[in-house]
Amino acid sequence: MGEKGLLSPFMLKSLFWINALGTVYGYYWYWGQLQEVWDTKPAWMVLLVPDSPTASLFFTLAIGWLWLAPERRLSNPNTLIIRSFVEVFAVVTSFKYGIWAVAMIFGGQAQGDILNWQHYMLVASHLGMAAEALLYARFFRVRPGTLAAVAFWTLYNDLADYRFGIYPYLPNVLDDDLTVIQAFTMLLSVTGLCLAWWICGRRKRSK
């Protein structure tokens, strides 16, 4: 799809509401784990639990900005920095968790987990997250400071997930593969950060 199609009001409005509704459902899906972490862990860890819905929340905000302020009609430098952080965070985490969730579902199936319709719904929605991140990254801008901040968040999140046991629920058959899963998760973080720098930064370098 060309740039005009991706930036059309219909497409931006559709993606905004699809991601907004997906974010609400995602937090609902994580509700049990959020309550468990709140009851058994330090309160600050709750922020690190809902990975995919937080990614889609930031993508919703990034798409909303494209829809409402396509030419970046914002003169406040602080606002531009916040917008850049939102956009880079959206690209990195949407790509990362879109691929991660699909890999975990089919990794579980490969070891004997039985898939149902909900699994396939999650596969479709998470592949959509990764695809939209790659498609829209070209319209976002990366700054060294915001990329560093997103890198800190994502990599610390990875370390905290597996050190404190707050990673998303996995199929039981994958419980003995946590070392490999952590390495794979961190590799996805680094890959997402490199993609954000390359795709988002290409717009700035082309000026």
Task: Per-residue pLDDT tens, the chain, 207 aa: give them.
Answer: 677 889 999 999 999 999 999 999 999 999 999 999 999 999 999 999 999 999 999 999 999 999 887 665 556 677 788 999 999 999 999 999 999 999 999 999 999 999 999 999 999 999 999 999 999 999 998 888 999 999 999 999 999 999 999 999 999 999 999 999 999 999 999 999 999 988 876 655 444
Q: Are 9 and 67 in contact (CB under 8 A)?
A: yes
Distance of CA 84 to the CA centre of its chain: 15
The runs of H, that is alpha helices, within the chain are 3-6, 9-29, 31-40, 51-68, 77-110, 117-136, 144-163, 178-195, 201-205
Q: Where are the domains of the chain?
A: 3-205
Nearest CA among 129, 4, 165, 156 for reference residue 54: 129
pTM of this prediction? 0.92
